[in-house]
Structure 1
């Protein structure tokens, strides 16, 4: 029976002598086993603690020598074993929860001296150096020859970079790294992302710069990335659109979309309330979505996009007279913020409701509206703006929708009045 974890040995006698009883917490391997002499009775069961400093280890008798187990925080990978002789507390932390529970059960049996024949005992020998090394938190692999083909990635990794390795897919071994916070797969040949990336519940940074991505999965936007992902780099790929649910990634602070083939930005991009840095230079954007006005950025770069010249007189009319019952009901659902989903209404109606437009008057419109584009100075949404074109401009066209002919006429009257002034 073996357990890898951090161990701190506390001598309970030293404080009474005016000395410090605590030692430093160190990575260790704990083993329960017999002496080398296999013929020894079960009373010869010992606990061996090996560290990087002392790989041969310190040995402690177990039978009738455990005063108490402290397991209040066992679900956090922590426990303490108090020995009678010597008077020490063995404090365990950063252990795998299931392995820790099994180890404590084995220690109890060894203490009682019962059913020891069924215990999976270990040889009480020196630990291997790699077993007692401090857990590795950062790893960079920058060439194909250094890529591990047979060995697994260290389970303790928090930062992993795998670049210039010609990967065509995401290695599933990476997706078992549950404490991973930063994953850099830039400069590879990845075409598709597995939805299981969303299982990395601690992932705050995902860098996919310079790959062959053609899509960003809808499932990723509904995963745990909604609450963890802050930095996303999708620059230099083959993306044409982003999914409707992309704006559910509500924790995004930095979004890079440069050098793709994007025809439009996410419809509800204005819902990314924490977004502060946005770059979507050198794409195929002709107009910005209406919700773009709601952003509050520190830096914005939209250089090199073929934006159209905004003209409020150029409009598209999708109005129906009278409004259909479906349109009236859909507007009521959006205006009154009535909860909806595929379990209540058909899926195609959910999609239409998700893409509802907001009129200047504040009311919603779904399939019946007038659409035009107006010019907006990008300094209204960002403190720093990279020039939109080589002419020094910082304006771009933004979509505008109207729920009725009346609202559109009022808007045009306002435009005329401003021109006259």
Structure 2
């Protein structure tokens, strides 16, 4: 039985001499095995701890020598074995939880003097230097020849960059790296993202710059990335749209969408309340969604998009007289601020309310409205704005919806008075 983990051996007598342990473990291989005792000529079961400083290992007898096990945090890969002689505590940490449980079970059996044939014993031999190296937290691979084909990625990785390796898909071995906080797969040929990226529970930064992505799946938007993802770079890909659920990634602070083929931004982009840096330059945006007004950014870059020149008289009318009952019901739920959900009102109404548009009068409209575009200075939503065009402008068209003819007429009257 062998276990790779961090180990600190604490002498319990140190405090009586006015001394403290250093409180830091060293990477080690801990083994349980038999060793021939020269004095008694009997095989005795020992626990052996090998570190980088002592690769030959220090041995501790196990039979009737364990005073107590401390295993409250075994699920976190931590445990302590208290020995009677010598008076030391063997503190184990940064271990695989399942391997640690098996190791402690074997140590208990050895302490009780169980038949050695029932124990998963190892040979007590010196370890290789690579077995006791410190955990690797960061790995950068910048060429195909350096890409690991026969060996796994170190499970302890927190940052992984794999670029210029011509990957056509995400290597599933990467998705078992549960401590991963940053994953950089820029400059590859990836066309599709597996939904299991959402299982990386610590992932806060995902960089996919310069790939061949054609879609960003709904499953990713509804995964644990909702709670962890702060930086997303999907610039220089082949995206034409983003799903409505994209705005569920509400922890996003920095979003890069440059050099795609986006014809629109998600309708509820204003729900990204923590977003501070947004760049969507060189896309196919002609108008911004009305929800864009709710953003509060530090830096905004929309340069190189074919924005239309807004004219209040150019409008699309999607009204019906009288309004359908479903539209009236949906508007009433919103106007009266009635709590709603699939368990309270019919599911179609819930779906309608998710795409509700706000009229300038304060009421909402769902599927029946008049739509036009109005000019907005982007400094209203961002402290710093990259020029929208070569003419030095910082204005862009934003969609405006009206719930009725009277609201649209009032808007036109005001626009004419301002000379728009």
Classify the TM-score, shorter chain: over 0.9
- Cα displacement (A) at 1:343: 10
Q: Which residue of 2 aligns with 1:339?
A: 340
TM-score normalized by structure 2?
0.95
- Cα displacement (A) at 1:66: 0.7
Q: Which stretch of structure 1 is more off in the superposition, 79-88 or 22-31?
A: 22-31
Paired residues for 1:2-401 under 5 Å? 2-22=2-22, 24-35=24-35, 44-335=44-335, 336=337, 338-341=339-342, 345-346=346-347, 350-401=350-401
- Cα displacement (A) at 1:416: 2.9
Distance in 2, Cα, partners of 1:24 & 1:280: 46
SS in structure 2 of the partner of residue 45 of structure 1:
strand
Matched length:
417
Distance in 1, Cα, partners of 2:368 & 2:161: 48
- Cα displacement (A) at 1:14: 2.4
CA spacing shift, 1:404–1:386, aligned 2, 3 Å: same
- Cα displacement (A) at 1:20: 3.2
Q: CA contact under 8 A between 1:158 and 1:180: conserved in structure 2?
A: yes
**Deviations 1:228-284 (CA, angstroms, capped at 9, x unpaired):** 011100111000000110000000000001110000011110100000000000100
- Cα displacement (A) at 1:76: 1.9
Distance in 2, Cα, partners of 1:402 & 1:358: 8
Distance in 1, Cα, partners of 2:285 & 2:319: 26
Distance in 2, Cα, partners of 1:358 & 1:299: 26
**Deviations 1:79-104 (CA, angstroms, capped at 9, x unpaired):** 11111111101111111111111111
Distance in 2, Cα, partners of 1:161 & 1:337: 48
Q: CA contact under 8 A between 2:326 and 2:349: conserved in structure 1?
A: no
Distance in 2, Cα, partners of 1:120 & 1:42: 19
- Cα displacement (A) at 1:417: 3.3
Q: Name structure 2 gaps, 5 residues minimum.
A: none
Distance in 2, Cα, partners of 1:41 & 1:418: 104
CA spacing shift, 1:41–1:77, aligned 2, 3 Å: farther
- Cα displacement (A) at 1:22: 4.2
**Deviations 1:133-183 (CA, angstroms, capped at 9, x unpaired):** 111001111111111111111000000001000000000000000110111
SS in structure 1 of the partner of residue 35 of structure 2:
coil
CA spacing shift, 1:372–1:151, aligned 2, 3 Å: same
- Cα displacement (A) at 1:119: 1.3
Q: Name structure 1 gaps, 5 residues minimum.
A: none
SS in structure 2 of the partner of residue 180 of structure 1:
coil
CA spacing shift, 1:222–1:109, aligned 2, 3 Å: same
Distance in 2, Cα, partners of 1:31 & 1:41: 21
Q: Which stretch of structure 1 is more off in the superposition, 136-145 or 6-15?
A: 6-15
CA spacing shift, 1:15–1:327, aligned 2, 3 Å: same
Q: Which stretch of structure 1 is more off in the superposition, 314-323 or 324-333?
A: 324-333
SS in structure 2 of the partner of residue 32 of structure 1:
strand
- Cα displacement (A) at 1:68: 1.0
Q: Which stretch of structure 1 is more off in the superposition, 306-315 or 348-357?
A: 348-357
Distance in 2, Cα, partners of 1:56 & 1:213: 51
Distance in 1, Cα, partners of 2:36 & 2:85: 22
- Cα displacement (A) at 1:127: 1.6
Distance in 1, Cα, partners of 2:352 & 2:142: 45
- Cα displacement (A) at 1:345: 4.0
**Deviations 1:298-330 (CA, angstroms, capped at 9, x unpaired):** 000000000000111111111111111111122
Distance in 2, Cα, partners of 1:334 & 1:166: 50
Distance in 1, Cα, partners of 2:351 & 2:171: 33
